[in-house]
Structure 1
Amino acid sequence: MNLAVTNLSLTLVMGLVLIALWIGWHEQLGVDKDIIIGVIRAVIQLTVVGYVLKYVFRIDNLLLTLVLMLIIVFNAADNARKRSKGFEGAFWISFIAILTSTFVVLSVLVLSGSIKMTPSQIVPISGMVASNSMVAIGLCYRNMYAMFRDQRQQVLERLALGADIKNASRGILRETIRTGMSPTIDSSKTVGLVSLPGMMSGLIIAGVDPVKAIKYQIMVTFMLLATTSLASFIACYLAYKKYYNSRMQLIDLNGK
């Protein structure tokens, strides 16, 4: 099947953005500027990335591939950091969590023979892993901040009864990790029934046998479940300590 997405057709389809702009204007959501900026950035970034990937795929250099993967992880960590409410070391916590989850998942996929160590396969999968880790960590940060603020008294009571900061924060950690994993778990429950994921749909549109496309999508589902759970776990257990000072006292977030 040959796709015919010309510059003219793409420009005409871009008119669909007007629907989002109209809803934002009609409901006075204040998102008009963000939508316009988002669309412009998406077009520029995807165009640049398209030419970069074309070059990387053509020369097939391992070092350049690793550099591109690090750039992906770096940007994902930086975006996750923005959801942290500014606690110290948020970028490096995000970077470690995303890098670790990416390394573990890619290692399993390569060693199992599911994918090959080539730029055309490694780079897109790295992007999928890093982006889902980024979203999960962002959800964890927001939920952790809200729970430490709202459950301050309960945490103080546990500390007063002799619990260390890990045990005092146990309930918050469990709920926060669950929050980070929930979107991926919900998606896995409805995949194929409610949604036909992009990877599977793309392969089918490209003419790949639907059975093979489904196998790839199953692999992606397993991959994303591992990714979000690992990234959420690492980020939460590194980040919760930032809500305590050097004397292991809970920081007062209600004053912020």
Structure 2
Amino acid sequence: MSDISMWFAFAFVLIALFLSTWQKLGMGKEIVIGTVRCTVQLLAIGYVLQFIFHSDSYLFVALFVIMMVTVASWNASRRGAQLKGIFWRILLSFGLTAVATIGSMVAVGLVTPTPQYLIPMSGMVIGTSMIVCGLYISQMNRETETARGEIEALLALGASSRQAIQGTLRRAVKASMIPTFDTMKTIGLVQLPGMMTGMIIAGASPIDAVRYQILTMLTFSSAAAISAVMISLLSYRLWFTNDSMLRQDAE
């Protein structure tokens, strides 16, 4: 793609701005900021990745993955700002998920341990985990408020905090995983995912592109399950006070 073609691509943003103005949506500022941030961030990351790929250093790969995990953890933790310590629990959950999934793929030979494979795959796994954890926290906030009476009754009857919140926890974990598996049910029929489309546009065989996309989607399913279960195990106590009472600021 030429530089001129890239500049013409910004015409799509003008369409969004026109529609926002026409319908008085008040989205002009968000559209402009989002466009600028997207462009700057992707260009910057492009140069960084080019440097890392040429250096072929695992130290730079590790630092880049740590950066992705940290940013994703901060973004997901904003949904639970009232929960003290949620950031570190999400960080640990993301780290364990990335190590388990990427490590398994490297161990069985599905992925070559080079920066060109490790960084993109790690980014997709961490991105999936970020969405799952964000959904989990939002759902837990809603579920604990809806089931407050039930949870407090169980606590009054002598149940532990884990026993009292187990049903709520299970519903929140399930809700956080549903979007990932719903996507798997319709992929290829409703949408052609970005990785597969990018490979085809770059000239790869559609069959090879499909194989990599299958690998990616199966990895997503594992990442979604691991991160959802891990964050639930690590964080459920945060919805209780130190004396095992349900927090009043759960929302």
2:195 aligned with 1:203, yes or no?
Answer: no
The 3 A distance-change label for structure 1 pair 148 and 222 is: same
Q: Deviations over 1:162-198 (max 9, x none)?
A: 2111111111111111121111100000011111111
Give distance in 2, aligned partners of 1:179 and 1:197: 22
Calculate the TM-score normalised by the size of structure 2.
0.95
The 3 A distance-change label for structure 1 pair 31 and 90 is: farther
Question: Which portions of structure 1, spanning 4 or more consecutive aligned residues, are displaced by more than 6 angstroms?
Answer: none
Map of 1:135 onto structure 2: 131
Structure 1 residue 134: Cα displacement: 0.6
Output the amino acid matched with 2:141.
Y
Map of 2:53 onto structure 1: 57
Give distance in 2, aligned partners of 1:252 and 1:165: 15
Structure 1 residue 28: Cα displacement: 4.3
The 3 A distance-change label for structure 1 pair 248 and 113 is: same
Give distance in 2, aligned partners of 1:230 and 1:31: 36
Output the amino acid matched with 1:248.
S
Give distance in 2, aligned partners of 1:24 and 1:236: 39
Output the amino acid matched with 2:170.
R
Give distance in 1, aligned partners of 2:64 and 2:184: 29
RMSD: 1.5
Map of 2:112 onto structure 1: 116
Give distance in 1, aligned partners of 2:147 and 2:23: 34
Bigger CA drift: 13-22 or 85-94?
13-22
Please, which of 157, 161, 179 is the counterpart of residue 165 of structure 1? 161
Give distance in 2, aligned partners of 1:215 and 1:246: 49
Calculate the TM-score normalised by the size of structure 1.
0.93
Structure 1 residue 19: Cα displacement: 3.1
Give distance in 2, aligned partners of 1:238 and 1:25: 45
Map of 1:187 onto structure 2: 183
Q: Deviations over 1:22-76 (max 9, x none)?
A: 4444444443322211111111111111001000000101111111111111111
2:15 aligned with 1:14, yes or no?
Answer: no
Output the amino acid matched with 1:213.
A
Give distance in 2, aligned partners of 1:97 and 1:28: 41
CA contact (8 A) 1:88 1:242 kept: yes
Please, which of 77, 92, 117 is the counterpart of residue 96 of structure 1? 92
The 3 A distance-change label for structure 1 pair 249 and 125 is: same
Aligned residues: 251
Output the amino acid matched with 1:50.
G
Output the amino acid matched with 2:184.
S
Output the amino acid matched with 1:101.
T
CA contact (8 A) 2:82 2:249 kept: no
Please, which of 208, 211, 218 is the counterpart of residue 214 of structure 2? 218
2:245 aligned with 1:249, yes or no?
Answer: yes
2:150 aligned with 1:154, yes or no?
Answer: yes
CA contact (8 A) 1:148 1:253 kept: no
Please, which of 102, 108, 132 is the counterpart of residue 106 of structure 1? 102
Identical-pair percentage: 32
The 3 A distance-change label for structure 1 pair 15 and 224 is: same
